[in-house]
Amino acid sequence: MITSSRVILKFVFVCLLAVITSSQSGGQFVINPSVIAAGGGTSSGGQFTVQVTAGQSAAGTRMATVPFRQTGGFWEPVPLVPTAANVSISGRVMTAKSLGIGGAVVTLADLNGLTRTEVSNTFGVYQFNDVPAGTSYMLTAAAKGYTFPPPQIISVSDSITDVNFVGDTGRRRSRASGLSSKP
């Protein structure tokens, strides 16, 4: 008796579920296609047909109906402007053998010609703090007894830690005597 009542209860539940499901699907659905780019197509099966596209006609526009609001499309345009945050630029002034050149003067110049200088420590390390991001700078190094390659031009959007300068003394060692001489 308990088994037959469970079977009847399950049957009634399935019938009720079928009635609820069919009553909510009543009516014809239409989705109008909108194409802004190549692509898309039609998919159908049974009583439903869906036409799809690769884009949206309202891309980038704001749509608002209280209490909802959205921006159509795949992204919201964000203007690309320099950040207000300041960054740092650092590196080393060194010899060809990676020995630090202490007391070297490193100059940072912006596009308007404004300059700042820093002096490298005994390990050749220098650092410029509070540098405005979003622009380009020219860096040069100078130290007594050394020549350096042409200035380095860098574009700064974030902190940079490896703007290195390698100085040349202009001396060459003689293989026979081991003495230094100018070329």
Domain extents for the chain? Answer: 86-167
CA distance 43 to 46: 10
Domain 86-167 class in CATH: mainly beta
Predicted confidence (pLDDT) per residue in 12-54, tens digit: 766 666 655 554 555 565 656 555 555 556 666 666 666 555 5
Kindly tell me if the per-residue pLDDT of 74 is higher than 50: no
Closest CA to 170 of 147, 142, 153: 147
Residue 60, phi-psi category: left (phi > 0), alpha (psi -120 to 50), beta (remainder)? left
Tens digit of each residue's pLDDT (9 = 90 or more) over 94-149: 999 999 999 999 999 998 889 999 999 999 999 999 999 888 999 999 999 999 99
CA distance linking residue 23 with residue 84, whole number of Å = 58
Contact 87, 156 (CB under 8 A): yes
- How many angstroms separate the CA atoms of 85 and 165, rounded? 26
**HSE, side-chain direction, 13 A CA sphere, residue 83:** 10
CB 67 within 8 A of CB 139: no
Q: Name which of 139, 181, 130, 121 is nearest 159 in CA terms.
A: 130
Q: Which residues pair with 86 in a beta bridge?
A: 132
* Most confident among 25-29, 76-80, 109-113, 174-178 (mean pLDDT): 109-113
